[in-house]
């Protein structure tokens, strides 16, 4: 008799989608890195989940993953370019703000 059951997926959906690797972006010829979403503490996600303002939620997540020069570079970006970097970070990290 053959086993037709599919193997069980390991971890939660968030764990399966998330990557532990650093995210890199360029700004004005310099390279910067952001921590992946896997490094954000659960309490930050809990707070973000309650936020109604998407912009406030975005900046809260960024402050949790950006340090020093990377945060300064993000602060200098026009909002449209910041949004592109944030979206790419979300896709890389498997993190989202929802619909």
Domain extent, residue 28, equals 21-93
Condensed to tens digits (0 to 9), the pLDDT of residues 79-90 reads 999 999 999 998
Classify residue 7: in a domain, yes or no. Answer: no
Classify residue 99: in a domain, yes or no. Answer: no
Paired with 25 in beta bridges are: 32
Classify residue 14: in a domain, yes or no. Answer: no
Report which DSSP code applies to 22.
P
Alpha carbons 35 and 38: distance in angstroms, whole number: 8
Classify residue 52: in a domain, yes or no. Answer: yes
Asked if 33 and 61 count as a contact pair (C-beta separation under 8 A), the reply is no
Classify residue 98: in a domain, yes or no. Answer: no
Classify residue 77: in a domain, yes or no. Answer: yes
Number of domains composing the chain: 1
Classify residue 12: in a domain, yes or no. Answer: no
pLDDT score of 95: 65
Condensed to tens digits (0 to 9), the pLDDT of residues 1-47 reads 545 544 443 444 444 455 578 999 999 999 999 998 888 899 998 99
């Amino acid at each position: 008799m053959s086993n037709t059951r599919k193997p069980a997926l390991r971890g939660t959906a968030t764990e399966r989608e998330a990557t532990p690797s650093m995210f890199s972006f360029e700004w004005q010829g310099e390279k910067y890195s952001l921590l992946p979403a896997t490094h954000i503490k659960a309490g930050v996600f809990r707070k973000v989940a309650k936020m109604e303002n998407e912009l406030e939620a975005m900046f809260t997540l960024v402050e949790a993953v950006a340090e020093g020069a990377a945060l300064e570079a993000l602060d200098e970006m026009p909002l449209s370019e910041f949004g592109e970097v944030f979206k790419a970070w979300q896709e890389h990290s498997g993190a989202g703000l929802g619909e």
